[in-house]
Amino acid sequence: MPRPLAEQVAAALHGEDALEAHLRDELGHGEHSNARPVQAAAASMISFTIGGLIPFLGMLASSETARLVAIVVVTILGLALAGVLGARAAGTTPLRPTLRVVLGGMAAMIVTAAIGRLAGVAGA
C-alpha cells in the first residue's frame, strides 16, 4: 500500500479512539471477548458445587471400607469426566487434559489423606 494511503487509513482508524482501534485490530479484542464476571462467578459456583457433590455419591455404599473405595472411584470418574468436558470445551483431544486432571486430582487426594492421617482426623 502506498505510504500516503497507509497514513490516511491509519488516521481514519485512530480518529476517534486509538486504544480501541489497537485492541480491536491488533489484539483481536472486541465485544465477544469482554470480561463477564457475573457469568464467570455463576459458572464457578455451579462447577464447584457439582464437583464437590460427586464424592458424596460414594457415601451410598453400605460398609465403611466400601464407602472409602466408592468415594475414591466415583471421584476419579468425576475427574475423568471433568477432563473430557474441559478438553471438549477447549476444542482439543481429550487424552492429555484428562490424564492431567485425573493424575492431579489423585495426587491431591493422596496429599489430603496423608495430612488427615498425620492430623489424626482421616477416615482412611
Q: What secondary structure letter does DSSP report for 14?
A: T
Per residue in 85-114, pLDDT (tens digit) is 999 999 999 999 999 999 999 999 999 989
Q: Is residue 107 part of a domain?
A: yes
Nearest to 47 by CA among 115, 92, 101, 123: 101
* Position with higher pLDDT, 15 vs 111: 111
Q: What secondary structure letter does DSSP report for 92?
A: S
Q: Is residue 87 part of a domain?
A: yes
Task: Say whether pLDDT at 81 is over 90.
Answer: yes
Residue 26 sits at the vertex; the CA angle it makes with 32 and 22, to the nearest 5 degrees, is 85
Per residue in 36-64, pLDDT (tens digit) is 789 889 989 998 899 889 988 888 888 88
Domain that holds residue 107: 54-119
Tally of domains within the chain: 2
The pLDDT assigned to 42 comes to 92
